[in-house]
Amino acid sequence: MALSKGDRLPEATFVEMGKDGPKEVNLSERLKGRKVVVFGLPGAYTGPCSTIHIPSFIKTAADFRAKGVDEIICVSVNDPFVLKAWGESTGATAAGISFLGDADGSFTKALGMDFTAPQIGLIGRSNRYALVLDDGVITASKVDKPGVCDISTGEHLLAEL
């Protein structure tokens, strides 16, 4: 999948940390009738993900909401326990960013966004991308080259709206 304007995201089930523990989330149900930003990144607590990518969406969260975005979702090939801790430690949870775990990487693979960099310990991870979706259909997209955190930031995606 090229993540192009007009494409519909594939069906997917994620795991999210709820008040009572992990819970499954059906992506199409979550997106139905809503304007949502979804961004993917290689992993919790990794360098640029923690110092560039997440902060860029924290900084732009209010601006996205002012433009009618109902929810900002971070997708990562991690488990919900790690994502909950990472969201809290970065301030992203307090900024209203949701975290969905693609624990087995199946969604990431379906998007064609998977990559492996064994030299730095990343196996079956996600490339960086950012999307604006309207009812599950891509209206704007930014995809970085593997190993780069540049155009998929909150600021660059916001400029598309």
Q: Where are the beta strands (DSSP E) in 27-158?
A: 35-41, 71-76, 97-101, 114-117, 122-126, 129-134, 137-143
The residues annotated with a catalytic role in the active site are 49
- One-letter amino acid identity for 89? S
Neighbouring-strand partners of residue 26: 13
Residues 6+ away with beta carbon under 8 Å from 54 = 41, 74, 86, 90, 92, 97
H helix or E strand, kind and range, residue 28: helix 27-31
Q: Of 107, 161, 108, 91, nearest to 133 (Cα)?
A: 161
| Cβ-contact 42, 76 below 8 angstroms | yes
